[in-house]
Structure 1
Amino acid sequence: MRPVFVQFRCSPGRTYAVADAIYEREIVSELYSTSGEYDLMAKLYIPEDEDVGRFLNEKLFDIDGIVRTLTTMTFRAF
């Protein structure tokens, strides 16, 4: 499994609804509200044999209220 972090910018007033929708999908291991340019940050584990872009597009990025995302791939834990 490959750990991936995804940050979400939400439409004004939609952060809690987006967070609820993300949790309903039951694919994130952690979800945080954040300060700064993005509103939420999720940590999820994607199977090694899955295409990351396709997985995220099909599982998360169709949620209403998401304006922008930033995906950070991980390569090695220290």
Structure 2
Amino acid sequence: MMQTVFVQIRCRPGTTYDVAFAIVLKEIHAELYSTSGEYDLLVKLIIPKGDDIGRYINDAFRDVDGIERTLTTLTFKAF
């Protein structure tokens, strides 16, 4: 079983394309979107069951230059 997590990313002005490219190179995402509004990117991650979600996200994004803030949304099977 896997855990689906969405991470919204706010980038420093002028760095959105660089941040997106760095994430693509890591090959950690299931989907990656550019968004409008308060955040610039939306990343869908599929995290293996049993992995620490906080550590996974921290390890995934800590070395990506240009990230100003993130907002993580956990999902739950409702149906």
TM-score bucket (shorter structure): over 0.9
The reply on whether 1:11 has 2:16 as its aligned counterpart is: no
* 2:35 matched residue in structure 1: 34
Q: How does 1:1-78 map to 2 (within 5 A)?
A: 1-78=2-79
Separation (CA, whole Å) in 1 of partners of 2:54 and 2:10: 18
Q: 1:73 to 1:58 in 2, by over 3 A?
A: same
Residue 77 of structure 1 and its aligned partner are, at CA, apart by: 5.0
Helix, strand or coil at the partner of 1:56 = helix
One-letter amino acid matched to 1:38: Y
Residue 61 of structure 1 and its aligned partner are, at CA, apart by: 3.0
Q: CA RMSD in A?
A: 0.9
Runs of 4+ in structure 1 off by over 2 angstroms are none
**So what's the TM-score if we normalise by structure 1?**
0.95
Helix, strand or coil at the partner of 2:30 = strand
Helix, strand or coil at the partner of 2:36 = coil
Which segments of 5 or more consecutive residues in structure 2 lack a partner in the other structure? none
Deviations 1:31-75 (A, max 9, x none): 000000000001010011100000111112321000000000001
One-letter amino acid matched to 1:58: D
Q: 1:25 to 1:36 in 2, by over 3 A?
A: same
Separation (CA, whole Å) in 2 of partners of 1:51 and 1:25: 19
Q: What percentage of aligned pairs have identical amino acids?
A: 63
**So what's the TM-score if we normalise by structure 2?**
0.94
